[in-house]
Amino acid sequence: MTTAYIAAPLFNDAEKAFNLTVDSRLHEAGFRTYLPQRDGGDGAAMVARGAEPGTVRAQLFTADVTALRTCDLLIMVLDGRVPDEGACVELGIAYAQNTPCVGLQTDARRFSGTNNNLMITGILSTIATTLDELVAHVSQYLVLSESAGDR
């Protein structure tokens, strides 16, 4: 089964809820997903329960980088005033290992994706502006991975 890594901001309830919606739509389309807020852990909650912040940061970094090394596709949510720094690093890691990368930008502040940094848009094969458009685009990866004998 094809695994999609969802690189996205996850620092408030609205972002986390949207990420879960993206995750759900990808599951419905036939993808297995890695969603850092769910699969790596919620760092703020871990620290609130008494975990040492440095240990939490190291644990989350290791979990996310490990998932990036094994994913088949990266989905980057570009919403926000600027793309999330952590998602940009995740995008760079995926690019360095030749993982296909697709953007999702529903935020109209940088409409049509024309005002994103060229180092981001240069990596992305496309920037979808709706979840339906994203699912339609990434579904081709399922067909390709099935015909190539998915991991």
Domain-embedded: residue 65: no
Domain-located, residue 108: yes
Statement: residue 11 has pLDDT above 50: yes
- Which pairing describes strands 3-7 and 73-77: parallel, antiparallel, or unpaired? parallel
Residue 122 lies in a domain: yes
The reply to whether 55 falls in a domain is: no
CATH number at residue 28: 3.40.50.450
- For the chain, the domain total comes to 1
Looking at residue 151, its pLDDT comes to: 46
What are the tens digits of pLDDT across the range 55-106? 999 999 999 999 999 999 999 999 988 899 999 999 999 999 999 999 999 9
Check if the beta carbon of residue 102 is closer than 8 Å to that of residue 138.
yes
Q: Is the pLDDT of residue 147 over 70?
A: no
For residue 16, the enclosing domain spans 3-38+71-147
**Does 124 map to a domain?**
yes
Query: Residue 116's pLDDT is what?
Result: 86
Query: Is 63 part of a structural domain of the chain?
Result: no
